[in-house]
Amino acid sequence: MSNLACVVLLFGYSVSLKKKLLLGNILISALTAWVIIVIYLCYLNSFYTSGAEIDPNINVRFTRLALLYAGFAFIISIIREVIKDMEDREGDERYGCRTIPIVWGIPATKVFVGVWIVVLVSILAILQFYVLQFGWWLSALYCFIMIIAPLLWVLKQLSRAGNAADYHRMSIVIKAVMLTGILSMLFFKFY
């Protein structure tokens, strides 16, 4: 049933929501986060259908991880979607879209994206100080180098960006951050 709902929502997005102020961005970001939640629900379902008992400590830890990764997916997708809107501003304007850069203007849109980057970097930095208490130096170093540093680079470039090529470069870096964020799950296999 949820797959059908996703298909209907994506169809609605392609037909009209991508032209609406912030609604399309939120929908795509929510669907991206939903992927993480679905994986978590499948994990839980596998225990219930197998009759195995779930260790409450592992269940709580896995729930927290699922929520953290879903939150990361939502925020990083919002950032990428809005940067992509800045890149596509001229074309969107021709087709009557009402994206954030068109309605609010580029300066306000840069502030919007910048605030989300600062929020994400702050959350990630706090989490790294938390995991350092467990001696997870390698995962913290990975996060600082592969996720936080590129986000800070995008934040710096955001203030200087002025054309589609600048926004495209930032979009590529955000995609790389999405990938490295997903790959960070591998560290939990070893801890």
Q: What is the domain partition of the chain in residue ranges?
A: 2-190
Instruction: Note the pLDDT tens digit of each residue in 86-115.
Output: 999 999 899 888 899 999 999 999 999 999
CB 65 within 8 A of CB 72: no
**DSSP 8-state assignment for residue 163:** S
Mean pLDDT, residues 134-149:
94
pLDDT level of residue 147 (50, 70, 90 thresholds): very high
CB 139 within 8 A of CB 191: yes
CB 140 within 8 A of CB 66: no
Pure H helices in 23-148 = 23-50, 56-87, 89-94, 100-104, 106-132, 137-143
Nearest alpha carbon to residue 28 among 75, 67, 63:
75
Instruction: Note the pLDDT tens digit of each residue in 36-80.
Output: 998 888 877 776 677 667 677 767 888 888 999 999 999 999 999
Model confidence, pTM: 0.88
SS3 55: coil
- Joined together, the tokens standing for residue 25 give 């961005």
pLDDT level of residue 17 (50, 70, 90 thresholds): low
CA torsion angle 4 183 135 121 (round to 10): -80
Position 122, amino acid: S
Map tokens 């969107």 to a residue.
92
